Structure 1
Amino acid sequence: MKSVKIIVLFFFAIVLSACSQKVPASDVNTVSQAAPLVIRLAGGDYGLPSPFTHSTRGPGLYNMYLLFDGLLEKDEKGLIPWLATDWKIEKGGKSYLFTIRDNVHWHDGTLLTAEDVKFSYDYYLKHPPVRNMLVEGKETFVEKVEIVGKNQVRITVKQPNASYLEKIGFSMKIIPKHIWEGVDNPVSMTDPKALVGSGPYTLDDYNGGQGTYRFKAFDPYWGPKPRVDVIEQVPVSEPVLAFEKGELDIAEITPDVLSRFQNNPEYRVIQNPPFHGVRLNFNMEKRPELKDKAVRQAFAYAIDQADLVEKVLRGAGIPGSAGYLPQEHPYYNNKIKPYPFDPAKAKQLLNGKELTFKLNIPNTEQTVRTAELIKISLKKAGIVLNVQTYDTKTNDEMARSGNYELTLSVTGGWGGDPDLLRMTFATNPNSQGSSGTIGYKNEAINQLAAKQMVEPDENKRHEIINQLQEQIAEEVPALTLFNQKSYFVFRPNKFDGWMYMYDHHYAQHSKLTYLTRK
C-alpha cells in the first residue's frame, strides 16, 4: 500500500448527486464553495484510513476517524452523543442501550440504520480492526448485540467495566453492512468502497509513496457543518520552517524557538496536556533479578527525572509519576511514594551488586538522548546499560513479542479512563503477564484493578484507584520517566478552531476541531 493512490470515483459522484436529491434540504449541511478553507498538516504514510488498514502510529487512527463515526464522540469534557442520540447503562453495567440517530447517510447515499450498527460489532468480533477495543486479553468482552425495536441497539457484555462505554461507543466506528458483509479479508480491501463511512470527510486523494493525504468535507454530512473544507497532509523535513513559510498551518515547536512566536500577534501558541510520554519497561522473564522490588526501586532512585525534563524536553514536560497516572489526570494521587534522585539510596538497595542490562530503544532524537542520560545516571548506582537502537517499527515489534530486557516505550493515551492501570499492570488470566510488565504478578494490584473496574460509585472508584496508584508506586513494575508538554503554534487569522479532546494531547487529532461548534 506504499504507492496506493485513492481518488474519488466518478461512480461515487453520481451516487452523491442522487443522495443530495434524496435527503431533505432541512437535513443537509452544505459547505461554502465561495472561499474553501484548506488546512495543511504535517504528513507521512500512515496507511489507508479504513478501520482495518491504518497505521498504529501518528495520525493513522485519527485519519480514519475523519471518515467514520462512532455512536459517541469526545469533546473537551467527555463523551457526547453522536450517531447515538442517547444511551442508557443497564443492569449495573451489564448492557448498554443506544438510540440510533435518524436520517444519517453513508458517503454513497445509503441510509445508515440500526442494522449497520449491529453488523459493525458482529463483524469486528470476527474480523478485528487495527485498534480492537472489544477485547480483554485474548477474548472479547462482548456477549451479544441485539436490535431493539426500530432504532435501538443493545450491547451486552460478559461483566461490568467502567471503561466499556468509551470503548464501545467511541473507539469502535460504525461501518456499512452493504459494503463489508461479503468481505472475508478486510485487511486486503483497498477498493475505494472501503473508505465509505458516515463521517464529515471523504478521502479525495492518498499517495502512500509520497505520504500525502487530501480529505474533503462531505457536503450532506448529518452533523455539525464542517468548518474546514479541505484537510491536507504533506511530509516536511523541518516543520517549523515549513510553518514559517506558510506550507503548514500548525506546527509543534520546542521551547528553544518559543520566543520567535510568543510575542507576535500573527501567531498563537498552545500547550498540550502531558498525556504522552516515555516509560521504561522491565522484562522480568528474561531478567529474573528484576522481580526483586529493591532492584526496581533502585532504578527509580537512580534516574534523575528532573534532569530528563530539562535536557530532553527543554522544560516542556513533567517528571513521570511512579503511580503512572500523570499529574494533570483527574484521578492523579499526589500522596504516592516519591522517588527523588538519590544514587546513594539506589546503591544501598542494590546491596553492592553491579548489574548490566541491554536496553532497546527506537531510533529517535528524543529516545536516544533519554537513553544517554539514564545510562549516565544508572552507572553511578552500579547499573550498566548496553543501548541497542532500532527503527521504531522493529522496536515496537520486539516490545510486543517480549524480545528485550529493558525497553523504552513512547506512548500516549495517559489521559484516558484510569482502567488503563489495570490493562498495564494487572496480570491478565489469558496471558503470561500484563502488557507492560512481562513476568510480573502482584495480587494486591490484581485485586484493586478488578475492584475499580466494576465499582459504579464514582467517589468509591476514585478511592480504589488512589490505592492502586499507591501500590504501583511502591512496586515500580515499570517506570514512567517523563510526560511531555509540547507546544503548538498556529495563525489564528487563518484558523482558530483547534481543540483538545479531554484525554488526548494533539488538537489536530480531534474531529471536532474541523467542525462548527456552538
Structure 2
Amino acid sequence: MLPMNRRTFLRGSALAAGAGALSLTACGGQEQSGTDPQPLTLRMPGPDVAFPSPFTYRGGIGYLQASYLYDTLLWKDAAGEYIPWLATGFERSDDGRTYTFTLREGVTWHDGEPLTAEDVAFTFDYLAEHADQLAPSVITVPNYDNLAGVEAIDELTVEFRLREPDWTFEQFTGAGGVLIFPRHIWSSISEPGQQQDPALLVGSGPYRLTEYEPGTGANLYLANDDYFLGQPAVARIEHRPVDDPLAALLAGEVDQAGGVGPGTGLRPQALAPFEDRDEFEVIDAPFGETVVGLYWNLAAGGVLAEASFRRACALAIDRQMLVERLFDGKAAPGNPGLLPPSHPYHVPVEQYEHDPAQAEQLLADAGYERDGADGIRRGPDGEPLRFELLVSNEQPMGPVELVIAELAEIGIECEPVAVDLPSFHERLNSGQTELSMTTFGGTNTDEQPDGMAKVYASTSRSLQRAQGYANAEFDRLAEQQRATLDESERQELAAQMQQLVAEELPMLPLVYPPLTTIVRTTEFDAWYLTPGGVGGLVPGVNNKHAFVTGATTGGVS
C-alpha cells in the first residue's frame, strides 16, 4: 500500500473532509421507502466474547462487537481500502516519525458529550499506562514503546510522535484500529481490566449495548440514532448462543453461520442445504485467511525444546492428507513459514514433506529408542514421549484425532484434553500446556509480515504466540521490518522471517481450512468479505461499514 497523506487519503476514498449526512439505500427486504419502515434486525450466533470493552474483549469476534460500540480513526470498506471514520484524514511527516490526524466535527459520545482530540490523546496515554491490564485476547495494541508522545493540538487535531518510523501506524494494528474511548468515563478508573459494568460502555459507535449476559454470548445492540454518519441501516443486532449454527440458520433462528472462530472450516457437504436457494448466499474467502496450528511449549523444556523433535513431528504429519480427509480437498496444507502461498510476501521454505521413515531416524539419532515397532519411544532418561494435547472444546476433533494418529505411528503418544474456550485461553496464557492446537486468523492479512510478530516475537502477548519461543534474530527482523517504509525492503525482511521460523518450527501450520460464511439475504443483502480483514486479524463478513450504510460499495460522507 502506498503511504497515505491527507490529500491522497481523501481522494482515494472519493470523500469530502468533514462530517456529512449519510444517504442510506434500500437493501434486501428492508424497505426504505414509505412512511413507516420496519426496523431491520440481524441475528447472529454467539459466541461469548467476554466483556466488550477496549480492555477485555475476546479475540477477533470480540473486536468486531466492541467496534459496534467504539469507533476508530480509520476503517475499511468493501474494497478493503482504508477510509475516514473518526478522522477525516492524516498527514505523515517526511521522516515517518510524526502523524497528524484531523477529526470530524460534531461527533458525540453516547451520553451526548463531545468527542475531541483530547479523548484520542487520552486513549493512547491511558492504554500505555495500563498496558498490563489489557487482556491477552485484545488484538489492536499499538507499539507503545515506540510512541514518544501524543498531543491534542486543538479540539479536532491530534499529533502522534514516534521514536522510529512505523509503517503499521496508519494501519489497523497501529493508530488506525485502536478503539477510542471517552476520558470523562475512564479517567477515574485505575483498573480497567477488572471492570464488568455495562454502564461504562459509552462509546461513539453506531450501536449501544442494551442487553448483556456474561458468559453466554447473548448480547443485544441497538442502533445509535444520533450517530454522526446518520441512522444505521441495521437497527438491531442480536448475538445469541446456539448449539448448531447451521441448523439454526436453516430454522430461521439466525441470519448467519460459519465464518471465523475456533471451529473455522465447513466441509463441502455441509453447504449443500444452502446452495441454489435464493434466500442464502455462500461467501468463500481465499484459502489462507485462517490456519490450524500445532504448538509445542518450548518453555516446558526437555524434548519439546529440541528443534529436531519438532521437525520429526512435522515429517510424521501428512498435511495434504488433512486437506483431503477433513475438507475433501477444499483447503490448503499449512506452510511452515506461516504465510500462505497466496500472500504477496510468501517465499518458498522447507516444507517437511510427509516422510515417517525420516522422522523415525531423527528421533533414533537423538537417542529416543522405541519399545518394538508399535511401542512408545523413550528418551535416554527412560521417560516416554507421552504428552497432553490441549484444545478448546470448540475446536473440531477431526484434525486433532488425525494428528494424534500420525504421531503415534512414530512412537509419540498424545492424549487430547478439551476444555472450554476461556479455560483454554487461560492455560495458554499461563503456559500450562505441552502441546496445543488452535485456529486463528490474520495469516493472509495486508498487515503481514508484522502479523508474524504476534506469533513468533518474544514480546508478543497474543494468545496465538509460539509458547516459550525467543529468538533474538527474529525479534531483530520483526523490529526492522516495522521501521522500514520501503515495501521492497520489507519484503526481503519478510523472507528472512519466514525462513527462520520454518527452520526452528516453534509452531507447525497444519492446514488453511476453508473460510466460508453462509448468510441470509432476504432481509439484508449487503454482506461482504472485507479484503485483508478488519482489526488487522479478522477476515469476517461482519463489517460495521455494511451495517451502517446498508451498501456494499462506496465509503462514508
TM-score (structure 1 length as normaliser): 0.85
Instruction: Go from structure 1 to structure 2 and tell me whether the alpha carbon gap of 1:245 and 1:385 turns closer, same or farther (over 3 Å shift).
Output: closer
CA 1:360–1:49: 2 relative to 1, 3 Å: same
Equivalent residue in structure 2 for 1:120, among 100, 123, 126: 123
* Conserved? CA contact 1:298–1:350, under 8 Å: yes
Aligned residue among 88, 96, 101 for 2:99 = 96
Q: Distance in 2 between matches of 1:326 and 1:264?
A: 32
Change (3 A) 1:323 1:78: farther
RMSD value, Cα = 2.9
**Which of residues 341, 349, 352 in structure 2 aligns to 1:336?**
349
Matched residue, 1:10: none
Deviations 1:67-119 (A, max 9, x none): 10011112342432211111123353323221111121212222211111111
Q: Which residue of 2 aligns with 1:486?
A: 515
User: Partner residue of 1:234?
Assistant: 240
Question: Which SS does the other structure have where 1:59 is aligned?
Answer: helix
- The 5-angstrom pairing of residues 77-476 of structure 1 reads 77-90=80-93, 92-128=95-131, 129-130=134-135, 131=138, 133-134=140-141, 140-166=145-171, 167-208=173-214, 211-223=217-229, 226-252=232-258, 254-273=267-286, 274-333=288-347, 335-352=348-365, 353=368, 354=377, 356-364=385-393, 366-416=395-445, 417=447, 418-428=449-459, 435-441=465-471, 443=473, 445-476=474-505
For the 8 Å contact 2:314–2:508, the answer to whether it is kept is yes
Whether the aligned pair in 2 keeps the contact of 1:72 and 1:84 (CA below 8 Å) is yes
Please say which of residues 358-367 and 477-486 is displaced more in the overlay: 358-367
Output the CA distance in 2 between the equivalents of 1:494 and 1:148: 45
What is residue 61 of structure 2 aligned with on the other side? Answer: 59
Could you say if the C-alpha distance between residues 108 and 446 of structure 1 is closer, same or farther in structure 2, counting changes exceeding 3 Å?
Answer: closer
8 A contact 1:132–1:172 mirrored in 2: no
Q: Which amino acid aligns with 1:436?
A: A
Distance 1:267 1:27 in 2: 32
Shift of the 383–196 alpha-carbon distance from structure 1 to 2, 3 Å rule, reads same
Q: Which structure has the higher relative contact order (CA within 8 Å, separation 6+)?
A: 2
Aligned to 1:6: none
Question: CA 1:133–1:231 in 2, change beyond 3 Å: closer, same or farther?
Answer: closer
Question: How far apart in 2 are the matches of 1:205 and 1:388?
Answer: 34
- Asked if structure 1 preserves the Cα contact closer than 8 Å seen for 2:442 and 2:539, the reply is no
Three-state SS of the structure 1 residue aligned to 2:503 is: helix
Identity %: 33
* Distance 1:191-1:420 versus aligned 2 partners, 3 A rule: closer
**Residue identity matched to 2:205:** G
Deviations 1:17-64 (A, max 9, x none): xxxxxxxx975779965221111111244333222343x147322111
- How far apart, in 2, do the equivalents of 1:506 and 1:46 lie? 17
Aligned residues of 1:29 and 1:222 also touching (Cα < 8 A): no
What secondary structure, in the 3-state scheme, does the structure 2 residue paired with 1:159 have?
coil
Q: CA deviation at 1:188?
A: 4.8
C-alpha distance in 1, partners of 2:236/2:249?
18
| Cα pair distance change 1:506/1:38, threshold 3 Å | farther
8 A contact 1:414–1:503 mirrored in 2:
no
Residues 163, 155 of structure 1: CA spacing in aligned structure 2 closer, same or farther, 3 A cutoff?
A: same
For structure 1, list consecutive stretches of 5 or more residues without a partner in the other structure.
1-24
Distance 1:437 1:361, change over 3 A: closer
Indicate the residue corresponding to 1:73 in structure 2: 75
One-letter code aligned to 1:503: G
Aligned length: 487
- Using the TM superposition, give the Cα deviation of residue 459 of structure 1 relative to its aligned residue in structure 2, in angstroms: 1.6
CA contact (8 A) 2:296 2:435 kept: yes
Query: d(CA) in 1 for partners of 2:48 and 2:305?
Result: 40
